[in-house]
Amino acid sequence: MRRSAGWLALLCWVSAPLCAQDSRWAVGISLGVSSFSGASAGTGPQGEATSFTPYRPTLWGVRASFGSRIRAGIAVAYGQAGLAIRGAPTAEGDGHLLVIAENAYDLASFQAVGSTRLLRLRGGPSLRLWLGAELARWTAPGTPTRSLGGGLGGLGLEFALTRSLVASIEGELGLTPGSPFLAAELPDGTRTRSTWRRTLTGALAWRF
């Protein structure tokens, strides 16, 4: 807890506008669903395009931030991702299969972000933009943990439910230059690629 407070204080010091008199702390929880693209690409035995991709983890998270119009924050989220295998031909030969192995990976996400308010409607929600960095840790039984660093950005609508309680709906796009998969784990002819992540999240935060 002291370490988290220290990182937040450092972010505030680097971003001087955050130290305005109307700045506030906020802590909250989040629930999001992610979809992925990239990660791998290859060619099957019959020349068909194939891929292995993480599949739609549901992510529970906690977050903390400091600021008002401009904010700095940290977030941690955890979920289990499936493994989607695309491209295998059907038995009839008239299409290709999507095979999904559920709960193949444990995914832990650590984020540091800075955000700003773009627009505030009178008596209504605020539109916020944020940019930041992410460290994603992928763990599967019998394989080494993969730690991938990358960037992210997003937009969100924030609603004040009470003076202290705030709800938000957020859309986020993230990119890691690496893949959750090791090249040795993939079939011959399949290569790793950068991984794109799209996430839709709902969150509740308490400001004090």
The domain ranges of the chain are 2-207
pLDDT over threshold 80, residue 2: no
Closest CA to 54 of 42, 66, 37: 37
- Which CA distances in Å does 197 have to 4, 12, 71, 109? 25, 28, 23, 12
A 10 A CB-CB count for 51 gives 17
Mean pLDDT of 161-171: 95
* Bridge partner list, 140: none
- pLDDT number for residue 45: 73
CATH class for the domain made up of 2-207: mainly beta
Answer for the pair 110, 96: CB distance below 8 angstroms, yes or no.
Answer: no
Is pLDDT at 16 greater than 70 in this prediction? Answer: no
| Model pLDDT for residues 82-100, shown as the tens digit of each residue | 999 988 666 665 567 888 9
Give the confidence band of 4 by pLDDT, cuts at 50, 70, 90.
very low
Mean local confidence (pLDDT), 91-118: 88
**Residue pair 107/80 in contact by the 8 Å Cβ criterion:** yes
What's the one-letter identity of residue 123?
G
Residue type at 54 in one-letter notation: P
Which of 87, 80, 86, 84 is closest to 53 using CA atoms?
Answer: 84
pLDDT band (50, 70, 90) for residue 47: confident
* Residue 172 in tokens: 């986020």
Mean pLDDT of the region 116-144: 92
pLDDT at 15: 41
Contacts of 152 (CB under 8 A, 6+ apart): 111, 113, 131, 132, 133, 134, 172, 173, 174, 175, 197
pLDDT for the residue numbered 155: 98
The Cβ of residue 179 has, within 10 Å, a number of other Cβ atoms equal to 24
Query: Which residue did the predictor score with more confidence, 7 or 82?
Result: 82
